[in-house]
Structure 1
Amino acid sequence: MSTEDRRGQNLKDEESREMTVNDSLSVMTKEEVGYGRGGERLTVNLKESNIFEQGDQLSCPGDLAAGDIYTHAFHGYLSTILDPESWTIPKTVWEAKNRGVLFDVGHGQGSFNWTVLEKCAAEGFWPDTISTDLHSGNLQGPAYDLPTVMTKLLHVGMPFVEIIKAVTITPARALGISDKVGVLAPGREADITIVKIEDCDAWLEDSAGQRRRIRKRIVPVAVFKGGKLFETRRPVPWPNVETGKNLATQWRSQVVRDSEEPKF
């Protein structure tokens, strides 16, 4: 395997036996990543390759196993989880979900597309875990914070109880720490966030500058870490117009997108 191929492969410590692979997975074979030789769990991030079978190359999510995580699942680039022609969820994606592959939001700066999420919602395909992939490039939009990403799922109809599971017990189980966190129970760590759903009227952008009008949002009321109460702040107002303008330059690179180019 070349140095370029290895760039996207990060084999973590032997105890966790987890492997994270990015777009270079599209040129890796099953043998090269060592898949199936010791129970490794994969966390896969694909944006520019194709999800369908490619000979002896690792097919994602076709060759993923129960417990593997397919993150950045709702972007609109070439490897969107939707069929790029019909904009429906392919059989291989449904089969992966049914055998226990976990689909994660991983919002980030470029990995969330309203159109993709709405098509998935129409088929009842919800993420198993909701994450922000928060960093300096998306803190002021389009991700903002975890309650905002949760709000996006609420907007398209994901049941609130499933949203809560997707930020608590399911990721805790995926990380192997559900004996410590993820549920309110005796013996667990007292890490608690109290949230509420409140009315609002604001536009909220995705990673391609596409916007939706939001009428309900999830906001934090109180946060406890190890039983200690921490101060909570009001969420950052959205949309961020300047961020939206920059994101809109990515609209034409989406294979699944709104019919009209976003304008700010």
Structure 2
Amino acid sequence: MSETVTTDRPSAPYDLLLTGGRVVDPATGTDAPRDLAVRDGRIAAVAERIAPASARRVHDVTGRLVLPGLIDTHGHIYQHVTGRFGLPPDLVGVRSGVTTVVDQGGPSCMTLPGFRHHVAEPAATRCLAFLSAYLVGGLEGHLYSQLYSPEGVDIEATVASATANRDLVRGIKAHAEIGGFARWGIRVIELAAEIAHRAELPLYVHFGQLWGLPASGANGEDADTILERVIPLLDEGDVLAHPFTRHPGGFVNREGQVHEVIRAALDRGLKVDVGHGSHFSYRLARVALAAGVVPDTLGADMHGYNTQVPPPPGTPPEHPDDENHPFAGKAGFSLVQAMSSMLALGLSLSEVVPMVTTNAARMIGMADELGSLAPGRVADVTVLADERGAFTLRDNEGTELVTERLLRPDFCLRAGARFDADSPILPEPIPVPA
């Protein structure tokens, strides 16, 4: 953890100074040792040297990376409402070094007021949402798939809700997967695309099997045809999710090749979000990256089915079967761990940082507010340790990858307020035995 020094200078021009770190800010083209000063919750100065005497508090972050506050473009934080999916927002947010989390499809036009009042307003993390195209929102669709039929979509109500809540709603969420296609065909996606078009918001589309049976072959549907049928419905800025999914219906077809339609989609301005979560495969990521599919953004896609949250001491578990949780006893996860995965796959830091800063801010239509450390911007800042050695990373297929570089969150500033990275769901490093 960084060292903090409090000075007795109440008249000092800066409230806080981060000194000695490596500032990496793609928005300003900065990648160099820099000091960073904060005043009144905003970035006040970034310079090679800022006198420690000019700040009331000084954090020595020597050896650390200092980044614009990380933006997780794929979260599930509608706790208590979306079944097991919803995680406590600050555990995946500020207490994991992430200043902004975008819930993907948890709230709907019917449940958005609850998301605002019970999640976004009390959280220290900035909480935004891509509104579900379905009236029921993220109510465990893999268990109640009948709720996600075309009859469960109301275009007028969803457009009205999105338009009236621009401060929270930054896009629309829908699913293009074989379970839904085998039941209802492409109609749900057509409706979702109309909602996004009329609301003038990006549509974020899940690819890869999700809702189980019926699977590929049922009712004449083939998972490998979904992408080529959905992409023509999408507009520039819409987002294709889960490029590295291990499930049928993703970017890599059953022959192990990236679908031909992907290159043309990227050329006309469609975007790609990792959506790591339970879908991520190092094996398929290598195939997609080799074909030139470099994601624009890096959503972690953490939820209660792939992340076990320990109950507070002395309280019973929220879910009766928590002792049988599929991730019981396994290492935790975080957006920063997903960054380490991208580095381990051969991407550079200069390619990965924009995925969680500038590109993410652009995806949610907030590039003029977030994703930069330029003076005058809100002081959302993430400080990471950049550890070297030999560490083991694992994907959801059980594949292990040894990396020599591991990023870990130290702390973040959210509008100038400090939050240590002390979330109980953060992973511990797994060193390679000597």
| Structure 2 Cα separation of the partners of residues 51 and 186 of structure 1 | 48
Map 1:88-103; keep pairs closer than 5 Å.
88-103=257-272
1:220-254: CA deviations, max 9, x gaps?
23311111222234952256xxxxxxxxxxxxxxx
How far did 1:45 drift? Answer: 0.7
Residue 194 of structure 1, aligned match among 360, 372, 383: 383
1:56-94: CA deviations, max 9, x gaps?
xx8233432211111122112111201321x23222111
| Structure 2 Cα separation of the partners of residues 8 and 165 of structure 1 | 36
How far did 1:208 drift? Answer: 1.8
Give 1 or 2: higher strand fraction.
Answer: 2
Map 1:216-235; keep pairs closer than 5 Å.
216-233=405-422, 235=426
How far did 1:131 drift? Answer: 1.1
Residue 342 of structure 2, aligned match among 121, 140, 153: 153
In structure 1, the residue corresponding to 2:225 is in which secondary structure? coil
The higher radius of gyration belongs to 2
| Structure 1 Cα separation of the partners of residues 399 and 151 of structure 2 | 32
Gaps of 5+ in 2: 1-145, 210-221, 309-329
How far did 1:210 drift? Answer: 1.7
In structure 2, the residue corresponding to 1:60 is in which secondary structure? helix
Counterpart of 1:59, as a letter, is R
| Structure 2 Cα separation of the partners of residues 117 and 143 of structure 1 | 21
Aligned equivalent of 1:44: 205
| Structure 2 Cα separation of the partners of residues 34 and 124 of structure 1 | 26
| Structure 2 Cα separation of the partners of residues 125 and 182 of structure 1 | 23
Counterpart of 1:41, as a letter, is P
| Structure 2 Cα separation of the partners of residues 223 and 200 of structure 1 | 24
Conserved in 2, the CA contact under 8 Å of 1:142 and 1:205?
no
In structure 2, the residue corresponding to 1:61 is in which secondary structure? helix
Conserved in 1, the CA contact under 8 Å of 2:240 and 2:273?
yes
How far did 1:100 drift? Answer: 1.4
Alignment CA distance shift 1:34-1:147 (3 Å): closer
In structure 1, the residue corresponding to 2:223 is in which secondary structure? coil
In structure 2, the residue corresponding to 1:183 is in which secondary structure? coil
Aligned equivalent of 2:291: 123
1:146-179: CA deviations, max 9, x gaps?
1110100000111211110000111111111122
| Structure 1 Cα separation of the partners of residues 394 and 239 of structure 2 | 25
How far did 1:31 drift? Answer: 4.7
Aligned equivalent of 1:244: none
Gaps of 5+ in 1: 240-264
Which structure is richer in relative contact order (CA contacts within 8 A, separation 6 or more)?
2
Residue 352 of structure 2, aligned match among 163, 176, 200: 163
The CA RMSD over aligned residues, in Å, is 3.0
Identity %: 24
